[in-house]
Amino acid sequence: MNLKIKRQTGEVAEFDVEKLKYSLTKSGASDIEVVEVLEKIVPRIHDGMSTKSIYQLAFNQLKKVNGTFAARYSLKRALMELG
Protein backbone atom coordinates (compact mmCIF):
# COMPACT_ATOMS: atom_id res chain seq x y z
CA MET A 1 0.00 0.00 0.00
CA ASN A 2 1.67 3.21 -1.19
CA LEU A 3 -0.80 5.82 -0.02
CA LYS A 4 0.23 9.41 0.61
CA ILE A 5 -1.50 11.13 3.51
CA LYS A 6 -1.52 14.74 4.58
CA ARG A 7 -0.27 15.56 8.07
CA GLN A 8 -1.61 18.44 10.13
CA THR A 9 1.50 20.42 9.25
CA GLY A 10 0.57 20.18 5.58
CA GLU A 11 3.44 17.80 4.93
CA VAL A 12 2.71 14.77 2.77
CA ALA A 13 3.89 11.41 4.10
CA GLU A 14 3.50 7.78 3.23
CA PHE A 15 0.73 6.02 5.18
CA ASP A 16 2.20 3.58 7.71
CA VAL A 17 -0.32 1.07 9.03
CA GLU A 18 2.14 0.11 11.78
CA LYS A 19 1.92 3.63 13.27
CA LEU A 20 -1.86 3.38 13.32
CA LYS A 21 -1.67 -0.08 14.85
CA TYR A 22 0.72 1.20 17.53
CA SER A 23 -1.53 4.11 18.46
CA LEU A 24 -4.54 1.81 18.77
CA THR A 25 -2.55 -0.58 20.94
CA LYS A 26 -1.49 2.29 23.21
CA SER A 27 -5.18 2.97 23.90
CA GLY A 28 -5.33 -0.41 25.63
CA ALA A 29 -7.07 -2.34 22.87
CA SER A 30 -6.10 -5.99 22.53
CA ASP A 31 -4.41 -7.33 19.40
CA ILE A 32 -7.73 -8.85 18.29
CA GLU A 33 -9.55 -5.54 18.76
CA VAL A 34 -6.81 -3.65 16.91
CA VAL A 35 -7.05 -6.06 13.97
CA GLU A 36 -10.84 -5.69 13.97
CA VAL A 37 -10.56 -1.89 13.81
CA LEU A 38 -7.86 -2.00 11.12
CA GLU A 39 -9.90 -4.39 8.95
CA LYS A 40 -12.75 -1.90 8.96
CA ILE A 41 -10.85 1.34 8.36
CA VAL A 42 -7.77 0.55 6.24
CA PRO A 43 -9.87 -0.14 3.11
CA ARG A 44 -11.46 3.30 3.58
CA ILE A 45 -8.14 5.17 3.68
CA HIS A 46 -7.36 6.84 0.37
CA ASP A 47 -4.58 8.84 -1.22
CA GLY A 48 -4.45 12.42 0.06
CA MET A 49 -6.53 11.71 3.18
CA SER A 50 -5.63 13.78 6.24
CA THR A 51 -4.34 12.27 9.46
CA LYS A 52 -7.26 13.95 11.21
CA SER A 53 -9.72 12.03 9.02
CA ILE A 54 -7.88 8.78 9.63
CA TYR A 55 -7.96 9.46 13.38
CA GLN A 56 -11.71 10.09 13.20
CA LEU A 57 -12.28 6.79 11.36
CA ALA A 58 -10.16 4.93 13.91
CA PHE A 59 -11.86 6.62 16.86
CA ASN A 60 -15.38 5.87 15.59
CA GLN A 61 -14.54 2.23 14.91
CA LEU A 62 -12.75 1.82 18.25
CA LYS A 63 -15.80 3.30 19.99
CA LYS A 64 -17.93 0.55 18.44
CA VAL A 65 -15.49 -2.11 19.67
CA ASN A 66 -14.86 -0.70 23.16
CA GLY A 67 -15.86 2.72 24.43
CA THR A 68 -13.24 2.76 27.19
CA PHE A 69 -10.38 2.37 24.73
CA ALA A 70 -11.92 5.01 22.49
CA ALA A 71 -11.95 7.43 25.41
CA ARG A 72 -8.24 6.76 26.04
CA TYR A 73 -7.50 7.17 22.34
CA SER A 74 -9.36 10.49 22.38
CA LEU A 75 -7.58 11.65 25.54
CA LYS A 76 -4.18 10.96 23.98
CA ARG A 77 -5.16 13.06 20.96
CA ALA A 78 -6.39 15.91 23.17
CA LEU A 79 -3.13 15.96 25.13
CA MET A 80 -1.09 16.02 21.92
CA GLU A 81 -3.10 19.01 20.70
CA LEU A 82 -2.31 20.88 23.93
CA GLY A 83 1.39 20.47 23.20
pLDDT value of residue 81 = 57
CA-nearest of 56, 49, 50 to 73 is: 56
pLDDT tens-digit map of 2-16:
899 998 888 999 999
As a whole number of angstroms, the distance between CA 83 and CA 78 comes to 9
For the CA atoms of the chain, what is the radius of gyration?
12
Mean pLDDT, residues 57-78 taken together: 80
The pLDDT value recorded for residue 18 is 93
pTM above 0.85, yes or no: no
Each residue's pLDDT tens digit, 35-67? 999 999 999 999 999 988 998 999 899 889 887
